[in-house]
Each structure stands twice: as C-alpha cells, then as structure tokens.
Structure 1
Amino acid sequence: MAHPWTRPADIAAKVRRRWDDGSLLRAFGAGEEFGVLEVPVRGPRPGDIGDDLDAVRAWIAELDDGRRGDSRYGLVWGDIGGRHIGRNRIPTRAVLQTYDQAWALLGVRADVERFTAMLAEAESAGALHAWVLRHPVRALAVADVWPGLVAAYSWLDEHRGSGRHLREISAPGVDTKFAERHRAVLASMLEVGGSARAFVADLGLRSKAEFVRLRAGADVGLPASLSEVAVRVDELARWGLRPQSALIVENEITYLSVPVPERGMVLWGKGFEVDRIGRLPWLAGVPVAYWGDLDTHGFAILDRLRAWLPHAESVLMDRETLLGHRDRWGREASPARSQLTRLTSAERDLYEDLVTDRHGEQVRLEQERIDWKWALARMGQLR
C-alpha cells in the first residue's frame, strides 16, 4: 500500500492554486517581490522508519531529486527518531523563494513569457494594461488572438458614443464577426454589458434596427390599404396607433392565422423579443392579452411582458388547456427555473407544476399544437 507522504506532485499542486487564482501572475506582472511560499511536507512517522526503511529512503530521494538542484524548490530538514531507531533527517517543508522556481515547478515558463508580451502590448492603453493584471488567467486564455483584441479594444474605446454601427469597425485585422465572437472578453475590458444589446448600447454605438410585426383591424390608425406591417420599434412608438385591444402571439403561423379583433390588433411576440412590444407607449392603457407556449419559458416571457405592461392577461395558458391536450404534449429541452414574480396565483401554480414535473417530465404544450377549435372558442372570449 502506498504511503500518504508528500510527493513533488503534491508540492506543485499546492503552488498551482496560486497560479489558477491568478495571484502569482498578478504579483509578477505588477513587479512585486516574490512572497516566499512554504509547503508543509507530510512524511513518515518514527515507526515507519523501522518498519519500511527502504520506502523512506526512496521517498527522501524522490523529494530531493524533485528539487532539480533547488531550481524548483528548496527543502527544510528536520530530525525524527529516538533511542530505539536513532535520529534521522527527513524533509519537513518545501520552500519556494523566487518566481523562477514557481515557473519551473509548474512548467509554465512559456505562459509567463506570453503574459509578459501581452502586458507590453497593452502598455500604451492604461485601462487595458490594468485589465490584464486584474484578469491574468483570462488574459492568457485569449493569448492567441491578443493582437486582434488590442486593436478591437482601441477602436471601440475611441468610438464610444459615436453612433456608428459595429459593422463599421476598421481596426487592423478585425472584423464584425471577430468582435461578436469575443464580445464577452471585450465587454469586460471596456467595462460594458456583455449581452449583444447592452454591449452596443453601453458603448454608444448604433443598434441594428428592431422591428415589430402586426396585423390590425379597422380604425386603428394604419392606412386603409394595409392589413399588416413590420415597422421599426422607435418609429412605431411614435406612430400613435389607437387599438381598442391587442393580442400578442408567440408563434408566427399562429400569429398569421388568429382572427384580428375588431378595432384591435395582433402582434407577433417572437419569444423574449416581446420587450419590443412592451415598450410601445400606446399599449399602456389598452387591454392586452398574451398567448405563448404552455411551458416554463412561455410563463417566463409572460412575466417579462408584465414588467412593461402589468395589466396584460394570459390566454390559453391555463391548466384546463394543458390537461385537455395530453396527447399533444412535447418535451421541453431546458426548462426555466427562475422565480417569476408577476404571475397570477393560477399561473404561478401551473408554472410550479411544470417546474416540478407534477404532470410528467419536462412537459410542454406548444402553441401550434393546441386544437384550433379549442383556441378559437377562447379567442372569442377576448372580443
């Protein structure tokens, strides 16, 4: 049976924690003196020496060889033993006193050289240089694309508030796809939001136009010749339409199929893009109904819509509809589990049923699977 004594690999593992958390690289990059690292060595007890002297000698030799002439670590020795077996000197601590010893022990010298080069390349951009020091491990993970990231950072930082499209980025060796692919790192460097929308908005760049698609009845405010439009959100908000009711529908084909309420409208919600509709100011005082998939994400979208339109009511998202369509149930691949605070008590109960698999594992009833006659009967209750 192997003895539970400290090996060179155990010493390296202790030091590697300081590498993995970035503290070693951070101190090195900042020019700080190396803080001496001492690793306690667990060795044989006095009785082990008499019982298995050859194993003790082999263990000492392994630790001693692991020093590589003190290029990786030094050893502090102590005496154990007594009258019966004599005094014996064994290693009690491993000590590292230089960065070079740490790099040699961990086998990371090439990474340190890359890190040093990255710091030098970021020297002219003080904030970027500071980012590398704060996040040395994350910086090393993108070392292969570092020149491109520096160029992208410089262009984006210079063009804050310019109102230009991200597509207009003209940094050397950088294109839109590069910036989008590395958005999370660039967002951290630039200290802006990491989502696609927040990244552009926080930098003061121009977002891709957002559209809302709707079908409208008479006397709503659309030209008489138009029954359906897709309009930029900002322009639609200023249009000042006058619906007497509105139905927001998740699925496109259902949106195209459902009857338009008289003097009302049907809007295509497109999942979590429902925020675009929620921001339309002329819906604030209008009866609004939302019909989404009967699954956890459908309720999450409903909850999100109510952040904008608290008075929105759900339709065909009830227990009767769910249980009445057992033969049409599907499986929700990645159910939501968030706490949704804007649901009614009945909606919340059904959402909890779905989250806890009360009616079956990861049950979902997609909007387009609901019997059309069943749906139309309840649509009629909205008018």
Structure 2
Amino acid sequence: MDVIPVALAGRSYDVTIEAGCVLDGFARNADAYLRSYRPATAGAPRAVPFVADTNSHALFRDAVEESLDSAGLEARWFVVAPGEGAKSWAVLEQVTDWLLGLGISRSDHVFALGGGVVGDLTGFACAIAKRGCGFVQLPTTLLAQVDSSVGGKTAINTSAGKNLIGAFHQPSAVLIDPLVLDTLPDREMRAGHAEVLKYGLLGDAEFFAWLEANGSRVLAREADPLAYAIATSIAAKARIVAEDERETSGTRALLNLGHTFGHALEAETGFGDRLLHGEAVALGMVLAARYSEHRGELSASDAERVTRAVDRAGLPSELAALNLDCDGDKLCAHMHHDKKMEGSTLPFVLLRAIGGAYLARDVDLADLAAFLDRQMQAH
C-alpha cells in the first residue's frame, strides 16, 4: 500500500493506492475506509450517496453494497451515462437536486465511483450543494487515477468549451485500486497512459525513459510496473498541486501539457468517442513537441522520442490521420475559448527538453495556425 499526501493548508488529504481496496478490500475493510466519512447521525442507517456511471455501477455495485451493509449503512445511487455528455448543466441540476432530496449536510460525504467525468461532475455538485459538502474519489479508470481525481479541479462542459464552468473543491480522500483496471477496455487504458507519459515529459526525464522501456508492461496491467507508474504520477501531481493549488503561479499550468491542443481537437471532433480525452492529450503532446522543435527550442531527436512513445502506446500521433474538416485557423479559434486565456494571450506549455516543460506566453497564433495546417497535410 502507498499513501501519498496532498499537502494543502487546512485541507490536506491522502491518496491511498492499494490493490483490492475497492474491488475486494473495500468490502473487507469497510469500517476503516468509511469511519471518517460516514454520516454522523446515530441510530437508523443513513443513506450514503454514490454517483457512478452505468459501467462502474454494473461492475462494482455489489462490492460497494456489501461494504456498506457490513458497516451498518445503506447505499443510494445516482447513475449517469458514460462519456462527456454527463458533464452538463442538466445533469448537474439533477445531481444537486438528488443530493438535497437525500437531506445531505455539509458534514456528509458523497462517493464518486467512476472515471474522470464522474469525479468532475460529483466534485462540482459537492462544491455548490449547501455551499460545499465533502466527497471521496473512487476512480475506476487509469486517467482518473493518475490525474483528474487528485487536485480538486471540478467542472462541467458548456457549448463554449470544455471545463469552463467549475470550482476548485478538494476531495477528502482518494482511494485507488489498480485491480479495477482489469475491467477497463484497452482503448481507455491507452488513453489514461497519455497522462502518465505527461508526467515524465513535463518534469521527470528519468520517469519518461522508464516508460519508454516499460510502458508496454504498464499497458498490460502487470502489477508492479502499473503500481509504480500510478504512484509516480500521483506523487508528481501532488507536489505541483501543493505548490500551486489554484494555478496562480504558473507551476500547475505545466500539467496542461498537450491539453490546449487536445481540447481544441476534442471541440472539433464533438467531445465524443471519435477522440477520447486521453487520445487528444497524447496527440496534443506530440504537437507541443513538434511546435517546440519548430520554434528551435527542442531537438528533433527529443521531438521524435515523444512521437515514438505515443505511437508505441497505441495512441494517435498524426494530426493528418484525423481527417478533420477544418484548418489551423479554426483549431486556433477553439483555443480562444480556453480557460487559460489571459486577456488576448493564451499561454502554451512547450518543451525545451524531455522533462523540461515551460509556459510560453509569446506564441503567435497565426504562426501556430500555419504550423497546424502543415501537420494536417504531413505524413
């Protein structure tokens, strides 16, 4: 078992990584896991709210309900459809109305069981219900385990763009069970691996080199490499979040490596199954590396290493392969809706080396659009 603290003034919490802590151990050790987060009222069993997507609900409901039964508690479920469509005003309203109907108090906790969509939606609902109630993350995808479940960013999507309406609201705890990834489709596993690669690229060249050698073992879900990749990724994010919780100093912005490109690609492809978030981030990191090379800041050999690592993970690495019906100007127009816009300037996370990300505030969007046009015609 690994326990990684996220050290924040007055709001610190632990990320616990333990094989079986949700799938098996959650049932065996319900009292230990729930003691701090169970409803405080004595007497009759209280309802413990769980928000889950349909996949996680079908896979893990029995184990969760066994856990609660053994602790003298009862589960209440709000189940959403999988995918980005659940991060909407309409579903947010339904979740908050449901929580208020259960009589949730500010001392209660809601459990988010699912991928990043469930965590983002649940966290935002908990940020605004009763002006803030607690929640616990039980992430069931690799992407959520290594990235979105940690750090307190919660949001929904709107017609203007992805994650533009939200709040910083830290969880009370994060419980990560690598064994639940055995149920994850291979495509989702690869999408999550993009975020693992990101941590090496942005600040840990040694970890990136380890992933070049061992990434196939992580994707194959070998226990030790998978646990190491998860723990190393979370430790990196915890350090950055502790230093810059609300993305004010620029340090936390480095976590957006690949995301400015990626969100534009998601917007152009409709935020659906055509291009998953992790796939968009993977291609976005390749584009960030190539654009850094174009600017004379990253060597051609390092840019090629990024492309090869993404390729070997089975993730998209060529913009031309998407066959988008748009040009570079339109992709740049999507970027204007990015929440990182500062006045008329959009900071980009670029690379000077593997493990050497930095925040560029001097990107000429006309030059970027021309670069993207060439990428859509290349290879």
Considering the TM-score relative to the shorter chain, is it more than 0.5?
no
- Larger of the two Rg values belongs to structure: 1
TM-score, length basis structure 2 = 0.24
Higher relative contact order (CA 8 A, sep 6+): 2
TM-score, length basis structure 1 = 0.24
